[in-house]
Structure 1
Amino acid sequence: MKLPGHDAIARQADEHLVTHRVRLPKRVVERPVRQVGKRLALALLVLVATVLIVYADREGYRDSSDGSVDFLDAAYYATVTLSTTGYGDITPVSDAARLTNIFVITPLRVLFLIILVGTTLEVLTERTREEWRLNRWRSTLRDHTVVVGFGTKGRSALQTVCATGLKKQQVVVVDPSAKVVDAATADGYAGVVGDATRSEILKRAEVERARQIIVATQRDDTAVLVTLTARQLNRGAKIVAAVREEENAPLLRQSGADAVITSASAAGRLLGLSVLSPAAGMVLEDLIQQGSGLDLVERPVIKTEVGRGPRETDDLVVSVVRGHRVLGYDDPSLGALQLTDRLITIVRATPGTQVTPHARPLPTD
């Protein structure tokens, strides 16, 4: 397979790139129009209260033009005082009026100014809060899962992995599309917008400290470059990648992928099986779909099963994982089950059932 140049892929991704910032799941807040309406109503309430206070003590104020203060003068004085304009044509002259200005109107003026600049203060506060959340997120993120590509394959892989009890806070989605990342954050995942073939983008996803990396890009050449970059940054992470064409699978393994899923071959296998045996095709599709019907599950051997054969357990065992080997249930070299073995079984699953981390479902597509 001939790979296009790295720069060409980067330029192609940049066409859809909006920002490289990390996006954390947003918290539910009020609509901006409603927030502005509340502030205006509060500012008007402060103004009305000030007008009434000044008008109630109008004998303690003097207007330089006619000497008396009416309701219009009280409203005028309240407006220029709260806005800190202060023309000086109306002034408090009595002790009561001056004390009222010190202990009542001045705090109201401060409150009025806070309301006026509330939007700016909220923006600064929100930026500080988001910066704090981002720093806290980076400092606590360890042994997480990075998903490159949040299309159909990426979403399905996440659903399967999260069925083991993986928390959404332990997942970071990387995708070049801002809309896709917004969809991921809406689902509760952290997201990074950018081209995952670039090391700086994967570093924003803290890939150096990730436990597992799922590569589910739309193109095989992109998957190869992402796998190469991820493996350079993290030598110990488990990398599982998907490709469309089977001929590209060996290249992905050479790039550092621990497991490669060929989507085109899997789909073709399902199509051919459905032609030969529709019922068998339905069973295989049932195994592929997570959370209903039948599921493939990997679990440890329990003490009561040690020394037995695979067919002597209560579950339907299809394979046994021993060390780095996967042995069929009828493999002559298998012998009796050992405590360090893991069993791959077929179990009945129901919607909403969560699989424990000790018995995790296996991706089959």
Structure 2
Amino acid sequence: MKAEHRPTRASSLLRSVWYRSRTEARDDAEAGRTITMPTQTVTPPLQQVLRRLAMALLVLVLTTLIVYVDHDGYRDSADDSVDLLDAAYYATVTLSTTGYGDITPIGDTARLVNILVITPLRVLFLIILVGTTLEVLTERTRQQVRIHRWRARTEDHVVVIGYGTKGRHAVQTLVGQGIPKDRIVVVDAQRKVANAASDDGLVSVIGDATRSETLLKAEVQRAGRVIVAPERDDTATLVTLTARQLNRRATIVAAVREDENAPLLKQSGADTVITTSSSAGRLLGVSMVSPSVARTLEDLMTLGSGLDLVERAVTAEEVGKAPRACADLVVAVVRSKQLLDYTDPRLTELHVGDRVITVSRAVPVREER
């Protein structure tokens, strides 16, 4: 009987590694069409073309001079003499690999120069001519490598869904609070908006955030926080539900326009729901009754201006002291995931592990360039 071939453990492992690498390459190629990495400084296209043209002309002039210096070592089938124009003509047809054969090197020196100098110059000339195509291919490969590295190391990051007015201000606040831009990922359905986020130094994903495949490209399953800020409340609900199904541990903060939709967002999995219309309405009412209070509230909500509301861990020097004994004005304390305001009778002293919410002097936010 014919012996049955059974795959060894090593061959199975090799096939598994090959299949996984092939799958990752395919995923990276697909991600390259929807994931936009932060833009880097790029030379303008016209400047690139002019620079390549100047290099090509320089190589052509250099080759012409080399041929003309040893013009006695060349023969022109038309008149047996090689002048400067003939040298330029020979350099042009030689570098472009046209090679009509009407001018040929006949001297030993000329032939040696062709081997050692003109042939490398011909290769350099061709590289310059096809430089645009090579650069496009190189840039595409480089982009896929950047995406692969980003996907491999991204974890516990912030996903911001929607880069409109709410999303942009949320990102500005996050950056002002010390979160690096490379830890923030923006998801938006409009390519123009996603490109704007990329111009701002953020990784962006183009696609419908209500679909799991789009959120998976943003690595939402490994995110630590998710901000849901689309234009429509129904979209916010679907996005929140999808994000919560993909990630059970992440903190999800969602924004809605109407109060009646806030409970639905809570049921969908949002930890915190911000109602933009009612908040704006209350601020308008306060502004009518007391403009000074409204300005103070706006100051507190504007990061890096005047006073800021900041949550921080209690320091070793503050442990055992009353909240009012702290250098900053303590308005609330987070203890065992419970929020206690400054009037709570349990806040006689601060404990280890407490987090205090304080009003402190704002630190100006630096704009990254």
Cα–Cα, structure 1 residues 133 and 88, in superposed 2: closer, same or farther, change >3 Å?
Answer: same
- Give the equivalent residue in structure 2 for 1:275: 288
- Which of the numbers 331, 352, 363 marks the counterpart of 2:365? 352
1:109 is displaced (CA, Å) by 0.8
- Give the equivalent residue in structure 2 for 1:94: 107
Query: For the Cα contact (< 8 Å) 2:228–2:252, is it kept in 1?
Result: yes
Query: For the Cα contact (< 8 Å) 1:223–1:241, is it kept in 2?
Result: yes
- Equivalent position SS for 1:249: helix
Q: Does 1:233 align with 2:246?
A: yes
Cα–Cα, structure 1 residues 314 and 38, in superposed 2: closer, same or farther, change >3 Å?
Answer: closer
- Give the equivalent residue in structure 1 for 2:87: 74
Take 1:44 and 1:107, find their aligned partners in 2: how far apart are those partners? 15
Query: For the Cα contact (< 8 Å) 2:159–2:227, is it kept in 1?
Result: yes
1:171 is displaced (CA, Å) by 0.7
**Please, which runs of 5 or more residues in structure 2 have no aligned partner?**
1-31
Query: For the Cα contact (< 8 Å) 1:20–1:194, is it kept in 2?
Result: no
**Please, which runs of 5 or more residues in structure 1 have no aligned partner?**
1-18, 355-365
1:116 is displaced (CA, Å) by 0.8
1:157 is displaced (CA, Å) by 1.4
- Give the equivalent residue in structure 2 for 1:305: 318
1:237 is displaced (CA, Å) by 0.8
Query: For the Cα contact (< 8 Å) 2:176–2:365, is it kept in 1?
Result: no
- Which of the numbers 319, 343, 349 marks the counterpart of 2:356? 343
1:284 is displaced (CA, Å) by 1.3
Identity %, equivalent residues = 64
Q: Does 1:152 align with 2:165?
A: yes
With a CA cutoff of 8 Å and minimum separation of 6, indicate the structure with the bigger relative contact order. 1
Q: Deviations over 1:1-27 (max 9, x none)?
A: xxxxxxxxxxxxxxxxxx951111111
- Which of the numbers 175, 187, 191 marks the counterpart of 2:188? 175
Letter aligned with residue 268 of structure 1? G
- Which of the numbers 117, 127, 136 marks the counterpart of 2:149? 136
- Equivalent position SS for 2:81: coil
Letter aligned with residue 190 of structure 1? V
Take 2:319 and 2:74, find their aligned partners in 1: how far apart are those partners? 96
Query: For the Cα contact (< 8 Å) 1:295–1:349, is it kept in 2?
Result: yes
Letter aligned with residue 77 of structure 1? Y
Query: For the Cα contact (< 8 Å) 1:320–1:329, is it kept in 2?
Result: yes
Take 2:104 and 2:349, find their aligned partners in 1: how far apart are those partners? 99
Q: Deviations over 1:270-327 (max 9, x none)?
A: 1111122222112111111111112111122233333333333332222121112112
- Which of the numbers 98, 106, 109 marks the counterpart of 2:119? 106
- Equivalent position SS for 2:104: strand
Letter aligned with residue 171 of structure 2? L
- Give the equivalent residue in structure 2 for 1:222: 235
Take 1:240 and 1:41, find their aligned partners in 2: how far apart are those partners? 55
- Give the equivalent residue in structure 1 for 2:301: 288
Cα–Cα, structure 1 residues 133 and 275, in superposed 2: closer, same or farther, change >3 Å?
Answer: same
Q: Does 1:327 align with 2:340?
A: yes
Query: For the Cα contact (< 8 Å) 1:20–1:201, is it kept in 2?
Result: no
Q: Does 1:208 align with 2:203?
A: no
Letter aligned with residue 83 of structure 2? D
* Greater Cα offset, 222-231 or 42-51: 42-51
TM-score using structure 2 length: 0.87
* Greater Cα offset, 196-205 or 307-316: 307-316
- Equivalent position SS for 2:265: helix
- Give the equivalent residue in structure 2 for 1:358: none
Take 1:242 and 1:329, find their aligned partners in 2: how far apart are those partners? 27
Letter aligned with residue 225 of structure 2? Q
Take 1:73 and 1:53, find their aligned partners in 2: how far apart are those partners? 12
1:212 is displaced (CA, Å) by 0.5
Cα–Cα, structure 1 residues 99 and 253, in superposed 2: closer, same or farther, change >3 Å?
Answer: same
Take 1:287 and 1:160, find their aligned partners in 2: how far apart are those partners? 12
Cα–Cα, structure 1 residues 20 and 46, in superposed 2: closer, same or farther, change >3 Å?
Answer: closer
RMSD (CA atoms): 1.8
TM-score using structure 1 length: 0.88
Take 1:295 and 1:323, find their aligned partners in 2: how far apart are those partners? 24
Cα–Cα, structure 1 residues 314 and 50, in superposed 2: closer, same or farther, change >3 Å?
Answer: closer
- Give the equivalent residue in structure 2 for 1:359: none
Runs of 4+ aligned residues of structure 1 deviating over 4 Å after TM superposition are: none
